[in-house]
Structure 1
Amino acid sequence: MHGAMQRANTSSCKALQQRQALKHIGFISSVSSSGRRVVVVRAGPAVDDDEELEKRLAKLKQAKGETPYGLSSKAPVKTEEAPKKKKEKVVYDFSDETLYYEGPPHRGDLAINLMLGTTLFWIPLTIAAIGRGLFVNYKFTNKRISVSTNAPWKTEQLDAAYQEVKEVRSIPRGVGAWGDMVVVLRDGSKIEMRALDRFRELQEYILKRRDELAPRTNELTQEELMGEAAPAKGGKGKGFA
């Protein structure tokens, strides 16, 4: 009898241990009335370790401001800037103007180019000089500079008010009898005049009319307005362009 009780206690202890072990994996055991052990398996929630790891990585990336894997990054929203207003072009009145000088390029330039045109190397320059002499005309009034081209293949007229002149560059040609001139405007554009007669006189006239019509006070620096000497600029000045 004592042995039977011992065996019953042993079996009950084993059953208790098995129940505790099965609880960790979702199993519950019970004993039927017939004495047989019945095991019921309950399906617990499946946990995917990889999915859990990806969720944690996604949270870390969002915390750092980065885009998680598998998600497309959104382009930053561009704020629409207000359209910049174009600077209105000043319209000048050229009526009632007085003619100061008008004429074609200097004939000495054409003569020299015709003589040098006997060489094969100089032929393109000779053709250009002939075209200038026949179809180009320079005109200076008290209000503007005008360069007109009236060729069969090209008709063009360039006008510039003296108020728009920024600087004037010139270089003598033909032993100083004529010269080439470039008038630089405020907007950066240029008017080129080749073989211009009386180029020194016309250069002085352009600068004089510019200062009369558009006082240079608006362009002076603070040092110049105070009567102080402007700092010397290093390097050599630019030549004819």
Structure 2
Amino acid sequence: MPQPGHWQQRRRVISAAESGDGGFDDRLAKLKKKGGGEKKQQTPKEALAEARKGSGRPEYDYSEETEYFVTAPHRGDLGLNLVLGATLLWLPLTIASVARGAFVKYRFTNMRLSVTTKAGPLRDEQLDAAYQEITNITTVGRGIGAWGDMVVTLKGGDKIELRALPRYKEMEEYMLKRRDELRGSGSSNAKQSSSSSSEGTPAKASSKGF
């Protein structure tokens, strides 16, 4: 049977625990107030700018860019693959060609290359590469030279692939020319620590796509 002083001792323990919890809450509130409260939630653009800043990659201002050439993959590639798709061995390549023709678009401006893929819930992305980031361009002609495949290598080894690109030799020359012009002007569009008005995401890996 509990001793007479047992209940008084138990009440003192409970009271001490409650006062301890209150002290903890007070200390937590003070810490939050000292730290400025909860961290403000970042917008997607702010998060992208912070990620670029942390990676050490320069940011580029595309606010004054002008389009030079916008195109889908060459329709000749699609037609050829549809014909060859009659053979079961060629069928996977035919499916890939149909997907490229339906969902992929190539965009060249005076400042950057963009590859956009819009396939609804399956895939929705945009890869951007400033011309100053280009280190090498490799092209291979297809369809008796009517179109070609292009691989653009960027600083750090990242690559962007463009399949069935019309005017591929012209675009290769144009991008290399613009790269040299922008680098020669001191890359005035590059900014290390300011927000960028570009849309989409920087190329982080090889874009093999469809």
The TM-score, its normalising length taken from structure 2, stands at: 0.61
Counterpart amino acid of residue 202 in structure 1: M
Aligned: 1:120 with 2:91: no
CA distance in 2 between counterparts of 1:210 and 1:169 reads: 15
CA distance in 2 between counterparts of 1:212 and 1:191 reads: 21
Deviation at 1:89, TM superposition (A): 1.5
Counterpart amino acid of residue 214 in structure 1: R
Deviation at 1:88, TM superposition (A): 1.3
Query: Which sections of structure 2, spanning at least 5 residues, go unmatched?
Result: 1-53, 187-210
Aligned: 1:214 with 2:198: no
CA distance in 2 between counterparts of 1:121 and 1:196 reads: 24
CA distance in 1 between counterparts of 2:62 and 2:185 reads: 21
Aligned: 1:147 with 2:115: yes
| 2:71 alignment counterpart | 103
Aligned to 2:104, which of 123, 136, 142? 136
Aligned: 1:177 with 2:146: yes
**Residues 189-208 of structure 1 deviation map (CA, whole Å, 9 limit, x = unaligned):** 00100000000000000000
Aligned residues: 133
* Paired residues for 1:3-152 under 5 Å: 88-152=56-120
Counterpart amino acid of residue 203 in structure 1: E
CA distance in 2 between counterparts of 1:190 and 1:119 reads: 32
Counterpart amino acid of residue 100 in structure 2: R
RMSD: 1.8
SS of equivalent to 1:95: coil
Query: Which sections of structure 1, spanning at least 5 residues, go unmatched?
Result: 1-85, 218-241
**Residues 160-212 of structure 1 deviation map (CA, whole Å, 9 limit, x = unaligned):** 00010001000100000000000000110001000000000000000000000
Q: Higher helix fraction: Structure 1 or Structure 2?
A: 2
* Structure of greater relative contact order (alpha carbons < 8 Å, 6+ residues apart): 2
Displaced runs of 4 or more, over 4 A = none
SS of equivalent to 1:181: strand
Question: Percent identity of the aligned residues?
Answer: 57
CA distance in 2 between counterparts of 1:215 and 1:111 reads: 42
| 1:186 alignment counterpart | 155
